[in-house]
Chain A
Amino acid sequence: QGNNVLARRATAGMCFYCLRIGYEVVTVKTPAFAESVTEGDVRWEKAVGDTVSEDEVVCEIETDKTSVQVPSPAAGVIEELLVPDGGKVEGGTPLFKLRKGAGAPKAAEAPKAEAPAAAAPPPPSAAPSPPPPPASDVGPIPTTMPPVPPVPAHVKMNRMRLRIAQRLKEAQNTCAMLTTFNEVDMSNITEMRKTYKDAFLKKHNIKLGFMSAFVKAAAYALADQPAVNAVIDDTTKEIVYRDYVDISVAVATPKGLVVPVIRNVEGMNFAGIEKAINLLGEKARKNELAVEDMDGGTFTISNGGVFGSMFGTPIINPPQSAILGMHGIFDRPVAVGGKVEIRPMMYVALTYDHRLIDGREAVTFLRKIKAVVEDPRVLLLDM
């Protein structure tokens, strides 16, 4: 027992001594400038509290069209910046203070509990300190940190999320939102795509996808059921009918939902629609979508299928009255002409504002979309 106590005290002493050596603070000065240049502007790359390794660039000094890098003379932590960013310096001007020694607590020789005072100031890049090991005298001094119990992450909801949530809830309360479903046999459209995809790519320089079929089908159905393309103005208690079809296409990005709009779809063919979708997709990818690209929209199409969803109820994107949800295409056994066949099937959902659109209109609308996608000749024959 006695030996163990002695061992711990000796280690504490050694530990404290080692840590004391690491406390040396050096002041780094501006290097002399070449070719009789007298002064320059400092541009900081690192901030107070940053851990740097030997030779890592701490700042750059711009002198007369020359950018000079100032590296750290040793590994350590930036203690103080002595010149503001953009400030002027001459050769020899003190630039910054560096606290030498390894920044983050690496494999410590002694348990942290033995020298709690020596831990200050902790470098910001260090992991949260583990709880001190029990002060028992069992066994040798541990050389690794005890495991840290996971702390549940409490992230405050940002204002935008709160606002969206609030507005969606309001929409649910004002609209009488209902969803109607149907399923689409994708055989014909798949076949059409297979037959024409190479020639399409050659002529139009873009791929032929499925979205154009649904977008065109929606435009066709909206022309047939104007109530679905209209919206209730709650302030004036009027129904606003629109004679143009601007379709919002919901795109999920890491930062949230983005809804670019394809304008005047009623006058476009499949090729035109694919081009528009492609252009918007490119812009979204290159972060070039302008706010005008996302204005307005009379109807939204959301494709959950890209994430593999089979079935789901989309939520209306205010201020519109309906939204079409597309889902994944899965082979299913279906009854065709009295026999069981395997067909590629997609479930589609239409969520609508029942104050404006009655059940019959909603079902007819969805059936029209189904009819067009299952057989695009319907468009040519205006059926």
Chain B
Amino acid sequence: MMSNVRRMVSLFKGVCRTRTCPVHTWTSGAGLVLQSRSTDVFQNLALEDWIEANVDLRQRGVLLLWRNRPAVVIGRHQNPWTECDLQAATKAGIHVARRRSGGGTVFHDLGNLNLTFFTSKKNYDRRRNLKMITDALRRVRPELDVQATDRLDIVLNGHLKISGTASRLRRDSSYHHCTLLHSADRSALSAVLRPSTSGIHSNATPSVPSPVANLVDHAPTLQWEELLEALVDQYNEEFGCTSALTSIDPSDEASFPGIGLFVSELSSWEWTFGKTPKFSVRTVLDLSEHRSAQLHLEVKNGLVASCQVLVPPDWIPQSLADQLSQVLVGERFCRHGAAAAAVSTLLRLDGTGGRLEELSKAVLRAMG
């Protein structure tokens, strides 16, 4: 652990931005402010994991500032199929990631600043962190009416949300992170933040939608760099330290040994989709000639645990529909990939161009 911290120190010394920071002020100060150069959501989430695992937070806290290229970030215990239209996201090149902290779904893009406050469990204080942010905003734009709510959001003019919060508590460490909407693209947001498919019944953590606003809509002259500098200054003042903004590169495995493993885990299907609390899908499939079938699926760990397709008896034999159901059990709840391959094999064996094909395609469309 100490050698990693020493490596970060040398990194720090090399790229000090606004002030010179000799080692003794850093080690005796109460905080360290870092800015990630990466805009990849998985690398930045992995960076949070790395800092949590490798930095001794008993002596000092760390503030990490980061932003991502467009991505949908769901909370630890949420259901990606209900929170996001996965087909639309893939088409638009928007990544979907599951973070380690709880809470609801957020849309990240380069106009959305993320702040992570790393502290020891003893110093965990979310309201103090949010106060630091509202103080910073009022400092640079005194006319802004911003305040933190009971739900730990930050609202503008009493009702427009500009920040949402989430946190993670482990045995010895904690972190609190939040967003801050500077200039996010709200239209891109609405296109993907809706369910992938209908009929999902789940007890996963829901998202609470609220009207949002960008800071630039109400303070058009507020530049990104100005905002960052105000936050750094206020952090130093609030927590009694003299840290300058240090730029770091989380893709540098030499400076952050082991970070690659965190990235792999966070970008894996098993984490993003496999960690979904179990849910069921109950829906009606529309077929030709005004007929319909009923679909009931149970999904556990992102895989189809059971499947039942009920068809009108005069349309195709129920036994054929049952074969389709059996083929899907054990596959990922996704219309592409293994489920599609299994269905396609079944169709090659039992007849293409017929009602089984129509039914199979309708079932696949209902899957994520």
- Interchain CB contact (< 8 A) of B349 among A34, A67, A164: A164
Residues of B near A86 (CB, < 8 A) are: 203-204, 277
A71 an interface residue at 8 Å Cβ cutoff?
Answer: yes
A39 an interface residue at 8 Å Cβ cutoff?
Answer: no
A289 touches B341 (CB 8 A): yes
Of the candidate stretches A19-27, A57-65, A143-151, A325-333, the one touching chain B is A57-65
With A159-B326, A287-B334, A289-B337 as known contacts, state yes or no: A256 contacts B345, CB within 8 Å.
yes
Per-residue CB proximity of A53-83 to B under 8 Å, as 1/0? 0010000101111111101000000000000
- Shortest CB-to-CB span from A355 to chain B, Å, is 19
Q: Would you call the interface of chain A mostly helix, strand, loop, or mixed?
A: mixed
Give A170's nearest chain B residue, CB to CB: B349
Give B336's nearest chain A residue, CB to CB: A288
Residue tally, chain A, CB below 8 Å to B: 42
A67 touches B338 (CB 8 A): no
Within 8 A of A (CB), among B157-172: 164-171
Residues of A near B124 (CB, < 8 A) are: 34-35
With A65-B104, A164-B345 as known contacts, state yes or no: A43 contacts B277, CB within 8 Å.
yes
With A86-B277, A291-B335, A319-B352 as known contacts, state yes or no: A60 contacts B171, CB within 8 Å.
no
B292 an interface residue at 8 Å Cβ cutoff?
Answer: no
Within 8 A of B (CB), among A275-295: 283, 287-295
- Interchain CB contact (< 8 A) of B152 among A55, A65, A317: A65
A296 an interface residue at 8 Å Cβ cutoff?
Answer: yes
Residues of B near A65 (CB, < 8 A) are: 75, 101-104, 152, 164-167
- Interchain CB contact (< 8 A) of A291 among B125, B170, B332, B360: B360
Residues of B near A167 (CB, < 8 A) are: 349-350
A257 touches B168 (CB 8 A): no
Residues of A near B167 (CB, < 8 A) are: 65-67
B364 an interface residue at 8 Å Cβ cutoff?
Answer: yes
Residues of A near B306 (CB, < 8 A) are: none
B205 touches A41 (CB 8 A): yes
With A67-B102, A71-B171, A290-B335 as known contacts, state yes or no: A256 contacts B203, CB within 8 Å.
no
Give A235's nearest chain B residue, CB to CB: B351
With A66-B101, A85-B277 as known contacts, state yes or no: A259 contacts B348, CB within 8 Å.
yes
With A163-B349, A318-B349 as known contacts, state yes or no: A294 contacts B102, CB within 8 Å.
no
Per-residue CB proximity of B45-73 to A under 8 Å, as 1/0? 00000000000000000000000000000
Residues of A near B152 (CB, < 8 A) are: 64-65
Residues of B near A290 (CB, < 8 A) are: 335-336, 340
A255 an interface residue at 8 Å Cβ cutoff?
Answer: yes
Per-residue CB proximity of B89-129 to A under 8 Å, as 1/0? 01000000000111110000000000000000000111100
Give B339's nearest chain A residue, CB to CB: A291
Question: How many Å lie between the Cα of A159 and that of B104 in the bound state?
Answer: 40
B227 an interface residue at 8 Å Cβ cutoff?
Answer: no
Question: How many Å lie between the Cα of A289 and that of B77 in the bound state?
Answer: 28
A318 touches B205 (CB 8 A): no
A163 touches B346 (CB 8 A): yes
B34 an interface residue at 8 Å Cβ cutoff?
Answer: no
Give B125's nearest chain A residue, CB to CB: A35
Give A68's nearest chain B residue, CB to CB: B169
A255 touches B166 (CB 8 A): no
- Shortest CB-to-CB span from A202 to chain B, Å, is 25
A35 touches B335 (CB 8 A): no
B340 touches A66 (CB 8 A): no
Give A288's nearest chain B residue, CB to CB: B336
Of listed B76, B90, B203, B345, residue having the most chain A CB within 10 A: B345
Question: How many Å lie between the Cα of A294 and that of B360 in the bound state?
Answer: 13
- Shortest CB-to-CB span from B252 to chain A, Å, is 27
A363 an interface residue at 8 Å Cβ cutoff?
Answer: no
Per-residue CB proximity of B277-293 to A under 8 Å, as 1/0? 11000000000000000
B140 an interface residue at 8 Å Cβ cutoff?
Answer: no
- Shortest CB-to-CB span from A48 to chain B, Å, is 15
- Interchain CB contact (< 8 A) of B343 among A55, A259, A291, A317: A291
Residues of B near A292 (CB, < 8 A) are: 361
Give A286's nearest chain B residue, CB to CB: B337
B344 touches A295 (CB 8 A): yes
With A34-B169, A256-B345, A317-B348 as known contacts, state yes or no: A287 contacts B77, CB within 8 Å.
no
Within 8 A of B (CB), among A229-256: 253, 255-256
Residues of B near A288 (CB, < 8 A) are: 90, 336-337
Residues of B near A35 (CB, < 8 A) are: 124-127
A295 touches B337 (CB 8 A): no
A310 an interface residue at 8 Å Cβ cutoff?
Answer: no
B323 an interface residue at 8 Å Cβ cutoff?
Answer: yes
B76 touches A319 (CB 8 A): no
B327 an interface residue at 8 Å Cβ cutoff?
Answer: yes
- Shortest CB-to-CB span from B115 to chain A, Å, is 15
A66 touches B166 (CB 8 A): yes
Within 8 A of B (CB), among A137-161: 159-160
Give B152's nearest chain A residue, CB to CB: A65
Give A31's nearest chain B residue, CB to CB: B169
Residues of A near B337 (CB, < 8 A) are: 287-289
With A55-B171, A288-B337 as known contacts, state yes or no: A63 contacts B102, CB within 8 Å.
yes
- Shortest CB-to-CB span from B81 to chain A, Å, is 16
Per-residue CB proximity of B162-188 to A under 8 Å, as 1/0? 001111111100000000000000000
B278 touches A85 (CB 8 A): yes
Question: How many Å lie between the Cα of A63 and that of B101 in the bound state?
Answer: 10
A15 an interface residue at 8 Å Cβ cutoff?
Answer: no
With A66-B102, A67-B102, A294-B344 as known contacts, state yes or no: A287 contacts B170, CB within 8 Å.
no
Of listed A65, A255, A257, A290, residue having the most chain B CB within 10 A: A65
Residues of A near B76 (CB, < 8 A) are: 43, 60, 62, 67
- Shortest CB-to-CB span from A174 to chain B, Å, is 13
A258 an interface residue at 8 Å Cβ cutoff?
Answer: yes
Question: How many Å lie between the Cα of A159 and that of B342 in the bound state?
Answer: 11
Question: How many Å lie between the Cα of A257 and that of B346 in the bound state?
Answer: 12
Question: How many Å lie between the Cα of A60 and that of B345 in the bound state?
Answer: 40
List 3 tightest A-B contacts by C-beta distance, closest first.
A287-B337, A65-B103, A294-B344
A-B contact pairs, 20 of them (CB 8 A): A34-B124, A35-B126, A35-B127, A41-B77, A41-B205, A62-B205, A65-B75, A66-B101, A66-B168, A67-B75, A67-B77, A67-B169, A69-B171, A163-B349, A289-B337, A291-B343, A294-B344, A295-B344, A318-B349, A319-B352
